[in-house]
Structure 1
């Protein structure tokens, strides 16, 4: 018994326990990813839009909030549209949520920027409970139409940004720090584009 309680075995047991917690507890994995985001990993890759990039016809792509209000992307032309597909069970989704909330807080009163947080499970009660528990005020929606696979392939999290002309400006899967100065600068560039 004494041989099993050596320092090396105790350290190994602690390491294995931590690994298992990170592996099986979504909030622990999210916490680890958030820490990595803070030190500069998981930066969103923003690139300027080519002037000749055609506008997309976004009409018919719809999302519905918990009160039954339907938003059609086609009606949002002239606005920068930030869409995030996420789920409460997804650790990378939970990890990026504080940065998205920070970005949302910066633009929530800006009539030129729209946020659509899409619960991929369509369990608006559960996702709203998650938002409320963290005092996030971001609007939560479920999918109310077909989403073209060119936009969303099913990977969580996926973040999409359209410019004011309806051109796809950003489409990335995986966690990222959306409160970074580089991403805020990117949103500002999209806002300054002429319609």
Structure 2
């Protein structure tokens, strides 16, 4: 079960409490601009975000400074929100390598836990998300 007690902030400095995602389908991705596998999977993340941004919550987390993140996002035409952690990661998200992506169902159960690059816009991921939305 997912621990929702976690604070994040966006580039404007607005605090986002992960608790607000409780009861929703969430795609949580830990990444960095200097990480080749992260960069490799970002186009598929953007495509998935474009199609599902109004249906599920996307939470992209990086420890990098927003000046670096913003430049990377603008250069690549990505428009999803990125957050920096402002509190300690919950234990189930204490990751050791990136990219690391979790797909979390409405009940808080982690359905997908993937370390390394993946095609997040593939049919199997979309089918899983559609199933989770309907639950």
Which TM-score tier does this pair reach, normalised by the shorter chain?
A: over 0.9
Report the equivalent of 2:124. Answer: 182
1:191 partnered with 2:133: yes
1:56 aligns with 2:2: yes
Partner of 2:59, secondary structure, is strand
* Greater fraction strand: 2
Q: Which has the higher contact order (CA 8 A, sep 6+)?
A: 2
Equivalent runs, 1:67-86 vs 2, <5 Å: 67-86=12-31
**Partner residue, 1:10:** none
Q: Which residue, 75, 79, 87 being the options, matches 1:137?
A: 79
Tell me the alpha carbon deviations over residues 117-166 of structure 1, each in whole angstroms, 9 at most, x when there is no partner. Answer: 11133x11211211111111111111111113432323110001211122
Q: Distance in 2 between matches of 1:178 and 1:74?
A: 24
Residue 118 of structure 1 corresponds to: 61
Q: Which has the larger radius of gyration?
A: 1
Instruction: Give the whole-Å Cα distance in 1 for the aligned partners of 2:3 and 2:95.
Output: 18
- 8 Å CA contact 1:128, 1:140 repeated in 2: no
- The TM-score, its normalising length taken from structure 2, stands at 0.92
Distance 1:169 1:143 in 2: 23
Provide the rounded CA distance (Å) in 1 between the counterparts of 2:23 and 2:117. Answer: 27
1:91 match: 36
Q: Please state how far the C-alpha of 1:82 moved relative to its aligned partner.
A: 0.8
Distance 1:98 1:132, change over 3 A: same
Which TM-score applies when normalising by structure 1? 0.65
Q: 2: distance between equivalents of 1:56 and 1:94?
A: 26
Alignment RMSD, CA only? 1.4
The 8 Å contact of residues 3 and 92 in structure 2, kept in 1 or not, is answered as no
